[in-house]
């Protein structure tokens, strides 16, 4: 994954198992728009 991409993920685990679920994979522009970040 290059520096221009962002990943939204969650991690759940216990003593026996750790699971990572990728919820979304966005380029930097879409990530900023989704979370309301604005360019100065």
Amino acid 16: pLDDT: 83
CA neighbor of 12 nearest in space, from 24, 22, 25, 2: 22
Task: For 6-39, write each residue's pLDDT tens digit.
Answer: 878 888 888 888 888 888 888 888 888 888 887 6
The CA-CA-CA angle for residues 32, 18, 4, to 5°, reads 25
**Band of residue 40 on the pLDDT scale cut at 50, 70, 90:** low
Q: Which residues contact 24 (CB under 8 A, 6 or more apart)?
A: 7, 8
Amino acid 3: pLDDT: 66
Amino acid 6: pLDDT: 80
């Amino acid at each position: 994954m290059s520096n221009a991409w962002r990943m939204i993920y969650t991690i759940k685990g216990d003593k026996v198992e750790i699971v990572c679920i990728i919820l979304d994979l966005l380029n930097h522009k879409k990530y900023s728009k989704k979370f309301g970040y604005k360019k100065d």
